[in-house]
A and B are shown apart, each in its own frame.
Chain A
C-alpha cells in the first residue's frame, strides 16, 4: 500500500525556516517524480515545487523561487522541502504527492495527508 506521510510543519516567525519531510512507502521511491502542493486556509491548491525521480531536475513556483529548496534522499525514501525566508503568505497546508512516472506528467496519483505551516509573529 502506497503511503506518504508529511511532517515538520508548525508555527514559525516571519523570516524563519522550516524543513518539511515526506516519508514514502509502498512503491519504488526512486522511480517516481515527486511534488509539493500547498493550500492556504480556505483557498485552492497551489503547485510549489517538483523533482524528477532522478533528482537532477527541479522546478519551483515563482512565489517560492530562491527561498524554497526541494530535495530527495532515495536511500531513506524521503522527500524534503527546505523553506527559508518564510512569509505570512506561505501559511498553508503542505501536501506531498507522487507522480506515476519518473518525470512529472500531472498524474499525481497518491497524496499525503498534509502538514500545516503557520507563519506568524
Chain B
C-alpha cells in the first residue's frame, strides 16, 4: 500500500527566509504527487502537482516542488516566505490505476510557523 511521510511536524521560519518542506512517499509505480495547503478553519487548496515531465514543478503563491525518483521524495520549496504562508501543508500521493478517479493518501502534515 502507498504511504506518505512528512518528517517535520512543525517548522518555524523567519519572514523572508527560504523554506523547504520534506515529503517522502512509498509507492509501487509512477506516483501522482500533490501538495495542498490548509489555512485554519479552511478546506485544502492545491498548491501544485506532478505526474510526468519536468521534475521541477511550479505552483501557486510562489511555491515549487522537485520530484526525485531515486530518493522517493517530493519536497516543497519557496525562496522567500510571507507571514500569510503560515498554515498546514500536506503532501499526498494518488494511487496508480488503469483509469478512473482515485482517492489520495495524505501525509500527516507540516505546520508552518512564520516568525516576524
Q: Do A and B bind each other?
A: no
Interface of A with B (CB < 8 Å)?
none
Interface of B with A (CB < 8 Å)?
none
